[in-house]
């Protein structure tokens, strides 16, 4: 009889173990708990995905309108965990990882319109199994480079056989236009290895403003089509 494939997710974390041991801060036992810990974040992502899918279906049915274009999720890679802890001068231990990193589990929720972002945040705030810990609203106050998006750190319980564990998840809400811009900006930084020419930076910032204008215009048109019906993604 073959054993069910429960091994791969754990094997994928061996990289973290190696990186952490390199630093001499972590013992094998602790390394194995890092793997277990990351499983917990994977479960938290699955939980949040389901919660958002339920909200999405509910709104789609009641309002005949879908506020979410798509959702993506990822677990931070072992290399990226180790790099961020080092960069911020934190020890490379399990406790440090749990205490200092809010984005071990990350989701991106791509909405149709800006008002959908605030609507979803409000609905999530009322959810008994979701606590919103912090919100960084880069839509109301964009970054100097033009970046827009709303980042929420939320906590949700993961119920395991023995106990329940509160787990933090970073959710980035963006519109399609914001996401389009952010992915091009990200690629630009990779391409120029962080030394992007000034003229290009200015162009990107300008493009971010155009993207925002487009967001506002599209939403205004959408409202007209709906005959001013405020349920159409109204805040
Ligand atoms: P991190 O170390 O990246 O977690 O920064 P932070 O804790 O100060 O959080 P912040 O809310 O500023 O950004 C978190 C994430 O948002 C980043 O990892 C990116 O995914 C995204 N982000 C923030 N700023 C930018 C930006 O200027 N451009 C792009 N493309 N993405 C950004
Ligand atoms: Mg962050």
Shortest-distance ligand to the CA of residue 149:
1
| pLDDT for residue 145 | 95
Q: What is the mean pLDDT of residues 209-232?
A: 86
pLDDT over threshold 70, residue 235: no
Give the binding-site residues of ligand 1, using a 6 Å CB cut-off.
103, 136, 143, 145, 147, 151, 172, 182, 185-186
Q: Is the pLDDT of residue 160 over 80?
A: yes
The residue among 215, 223, 221, 224 whose CA lies nearest residue 69 is 215
* Cα 197 to averaged position of ligand 1 atoms, centre (Å): 21
79, pLDDT greater than 90:
no
Q: How far apart are CA 58 and CA 78, in angstroms?
A: 36
pLDDT at position 227: 82
Q: List residues bridging with 152 in a β-sheet.
A: 135, 171
* Predicted model pTM: 0.86
Percent of the chain with pLDDT over 90: 66
Q: What is the pLDDT of residue 38?
A: 87
**In the β-sheet with 150-159, what is the strand arrangement from edge to edge?**
68-75, 105-111, 164-175, 150-159, 131-137
pLDDT on residue 228: 56
Query: Is the predicted pLDDT of residue 13 greater than 70, yes or no?
Result: no
Q: Which of 85, 151, 200 to mutate to test the pocket of ligand 1 (most atoms within 8 A of CB)?
A: 151
Could you tell me the pLDDT band of residue 233, with boundaries at 50, 70 and 90? Answer: very low
For 15-66, write each residue's pLDDT tens digit: 455 555 555 444 444 556 677 778 999 999 999 999 999 999 999 999 888 9
Average pLDDT for 151-174: 97
Mean pLDDT, the chain, rounded, equals 86
Residue-level pLDDT at 137: 98
Domains and CATH numbers, the chain: 15-175 (3.30.460.10)
Q: What is the pLDDT of residues 113-159, one digit of tens each?
A: 999 999 999 999 999 999 999 999 999 999 999 999 999 999 999 99
Active site residues: 170
Q: Between 32 and 176, name the one with better pLDDT.
A: 176
Chain-centroid distance of CA 175 in Å reads 13
* Rounded distance between C-alpha atoms, residue 71 and residue 52, angstroms: 9
Which of 84, 169, 178, 186 has the most ligand 1 atoms within 8 A of CB, as the residue to mutate? 186
Instruction: Select from 162, 171, 172, 131 the least CA-distant residue to 36.
Output: 162
* pLDDT of the residue at 107: 98
């Amino acid at each position: 009889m073959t054993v069910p494939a429960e091994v791969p997710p754990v094997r994928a974390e061996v990289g973290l173990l190696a990186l952490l041991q390199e630093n001499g801060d972590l013992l094998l036992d602790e390394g194995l708990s890092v793997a277990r810990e990351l499983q917990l974040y994977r479960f938290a992502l699955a939980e949040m995905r389901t919660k958002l899918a339920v909200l999405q279906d509910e709104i789609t049915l009641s309002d005949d309108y879908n506020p979410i274009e798509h959702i993506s999720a990822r677990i931070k890679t072992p290399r990226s965990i180790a790099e961020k802890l080092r960069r911020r001068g934190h020890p490379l231990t399990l406790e440090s990882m749990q205490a200092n990193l809010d984005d071990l589990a990350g989701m991106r929720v791509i909405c149709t319109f800006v008002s959908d972002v605030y609507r979803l945040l409000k609905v999530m705030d009322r959810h008994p199994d979701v606590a919103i810990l912090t919100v960084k609203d880069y839509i109301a106050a964009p970054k100097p480079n033009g970046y827009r998006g709303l980042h929420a750190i939320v906590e949700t319980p993961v119920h395991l056989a023995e106990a329940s564990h509160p787990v933090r998840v970073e959710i980035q809400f963006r519109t399609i236009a914001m996401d389009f811009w952010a992915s091009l900006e990200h690629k630009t930084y990779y391409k120029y290895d962080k030394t992007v020419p000034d003229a290009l930076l200015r162009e990107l910032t300008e493009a971010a403003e155009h993207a925002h204008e487009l967001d506002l215009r599209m939403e205004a048109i959408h409202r007209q089509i709906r005959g001013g019906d405020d349920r159409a993604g109204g805040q």
